[in-house]
Amino acid sequence: MKIELFFDYICPYCYKGHANLLDLMPKFPELEMIWRPCEAHPKPEIFAVHSDLAIQGMFFIQEKKGNF
């Protein structure tokens, strides 16, 4: 079974959910996680911090078959 997980690298709620997910994943080894980064506050937004560079890094690591 596959689960697509959409997350924002700088979202505090995503961090909390990620920690909970890491605790649960060993109990469900049959699950395949498909990580989908997104921005909760995409540009041009008034917030100074954006996660677009982190998202680009994730796609680069995936393309090179790395383990992120």
Its pTM stands at 0.60
**Tell me, what's the pLDDT at 29?**
92
pLDDT at 40 over 80: no
- Residue 31 backbone class (left: φ over 0; alpha: ψ -120 to 50; beta: rest): beta
**Tell me, what's the pLDDT at 28?**
93
Q: What's the rounded Cα separation, in Å, for the pair 32 and 28?
A: 9
